Chains A and B, each alone.
Chain A
Amino acid sequence: DIQLTQSPSFLSASVGDRVTITCRASQGISSYLAWYQQKPGKAPKLLIYGASTLQSGVPSRFSGSGSGTEFTLTISSLQPEDFATYYCQQLNSYPRTFGQGTKVDIK
């Protein structure tokens, strides 16, 4: 199985900050990676797929990059509605594993 490791697990930031989350895969997955946002009590929401393609309707302050084993999710200017937990997911093979999550909290 492909393991995904996110860092950091917890991040404290202020509105307007630039935020970067990293996801590392235990083996190469090309660009078969997605990012999701989850707010408390809600289902995950797809943000980015193919490592860097923005899902329709997602604000352009979100961006993704990387390929192979190292990927990043960047929020260029953190907004109040962005405080949430973010997960990466590999779409290269089954089982479709997720990273452990990164909680973005208010500083």
Chain B
Amino acid sequence: EVQLVESGGGLVQPGGSLRLSCTASGFTFSTYSINWVRQAPGKGLEWISYISSGSTIIYYADSVKGRFTISRDNAKNSLYLQMNSLRAEDTAVYYCARVQPSSLTGFMIYTFDIWGQGTMVTVSS
């Protein structure tokens, strides 16, 4: 079964750090780009970071740039999100999502086709 499983969430104080993991199974992890998306309680979806299959291209949302670091270890089928200087507004469920390239008439599109179940991060004193 194609699957992504997040872990590492929990309660952390403001200013603290946390490292999330996303472990893949059922597909060749090393050939896929992956994103992190988060969702604050009762709110919508917010994209926060992207990493290409070989880690050569990385993007961050402005809201986390300079505080969060995305990385991956293809030998371990794992994706990571190192979160530093955490704030109350970082409280959310964090999802990893696989990028699936699809060829349509005249163009390629890169959708988020497989998502993990999410891991909850709570930033509070």
Chain B residues near A62: list those with CB within 8 A: none
A-B contact count (CB 8 A): 66
Interface size on A, residues (CB 8 A): 26
A22 contacts chain B at the CB level, 8 A cutoff: no
The interface residues of chain B lying within 8 Å CB-to-CB of A44 are 37, 45, 95, 97, 112, 115
Question: Does A89 sit at the interface, judged by CB under 8 A?
Answer: yes
Binds A, one of B9-17, B23-31, B80-88, B101-109: B101-109
How far apart are the CA atoms of A30 and B62 in the complex, in Å? Answer: 25
Q: A34-B111, A50-B102 are in contact. Are A43 and B118 (CB under 8 A)?
A: yes
A31 near B107 with CB under 8 A, answer yes
**Contact (Cβ within 8 A) A50 B104:** yes
Q: B45: which A residues are within 8 A, CB to CB?
A: 36, 38, 44, 87, 89, 98, 101
* Separation of A87 and B44 alpha carbons in the complex (Å): 8
A104 vs B112: C-alpha distance when bound (angstroms)? 22
Chain B 38-68 against A: per-residue CB contact (8 Å), 1 yes, 0 no?
Answer: 0000001111001000000001011000000
- Residues of B at the A interface (CB closer than 8 Å) are 35, 37, 44-47, 50, 59, 61-62, 95, 97, 102, 104, 107, 109-113, 115-118
Supply 16 A–B pairs (Cβ within 8 Å), ascending by A. Answer: A31-B104, A31-B107, A34-B109, A34-B111, A46-B113, A49-B111, A50-B102, A53-B104, A55-B111, A89-B45, A91-B110, A95-B47, A95-B59, A96-B35, A96-B47, A99-B44
Q: Measuring CB to CB, which residues of chain A are less than 8 angstroms from any residue of chain B?
A: 30-32, 34, 36, 38, 42-46, 49-50, 53, 55, 87, 89, 91, 94-101
